[in-house]
Amino acid sequence: MFNYAMFHRLLTPACIVLLVLPYVSACSLRPVRVVQERQFQIMCAQIRPEMIRRSLLDAQGNYLSSPLFTLTSKKHYGDTLFQHLSPAFRYSADNPMAAPKTFAESAASRREVHIRDYGFTLKQGLDTVDLNLIAQSDWEGNGQKEWLLSCKVTSGGAPVSRTYYLALPDLEAEGTLAARTLAVFDCVAYDCTLHVPQAGKSTYAPESPVIESMPGQRTITSPPAKAPAPPAARAHAPSIPKKRSP
């Protein structure tokens, strides 16, 4: 008997799973193992042009769901990402202030962290960081499956958000996990822009590192970008006004 309820649930507004094999072969889509359906729908909506270019979606927004990619145990993934994922993708390598090695190092207290099966939410001052494990697929088309993640940073004081879409080769690797940026979706209110790095260069401004600390825990200072000029040279250097952050 045909299950209409199940069929209707599969036909989501953002992405429709291809169920008929002849259409799949014609589209030549790369299989996707979806971990969080809602987060995948958001990803399809926000970076659809890039997903079409990567053959994860067709022009109509369809994707090929694959049951071949399997998770082992789901319960530790959120904590693994919090403890071992590097937030370096958020910052410029030229920033003189050292970024924390992991998201766990950037948190003042575990009370500011909510860990889920497939991600976590972290409060950093007025900002909220929401990280999700979304899917697994062959993004590069080289036969290597990668984990696809999103990291959304929302400002509590303004209608501003940024969502990083990331690729991670191995969740079980030893040491710090380093993700690479696939795309960035910036929004100011309802005005949104999609950035896709080209040849390692980005078209968006990187964030500044944030390391929270408890009172009396430690003093955090930013090292100078370069050595100070000698007194004689400094006296003749022109005075340049510095732009202050709001």
Number of folded domains in the chain? 2
> What is the reported pLDDT for 43?
98
> What is the reported pLDDT for 99?
77
pTM of the model: 0.74
**Are 117 and 15 in the same domain?**
no
Structural domain for 18, as ranges: 7-63
**Are 114 and 152 in the same domain?**
yes
Q: Could you state, in chain order, the average pLDDT of each consecutive group of 10 residues for the chain (246 residues)?
A: 44 45 58 96 97 96 79 75 95 73 86 93 92 96 96 90 97 92 95 88 71 49 43 39 43
**Are 53 and 101 in the same domain?**
no
- Residue 31's nearest CA partner among 141, 118, 119 is 141
Separation of alpha carbons 139 and 144, rounded Å: 8
Question: Kindly report the CA angle at 17 between 12 and 19, in degrees rounded to 5?
Answer: 135
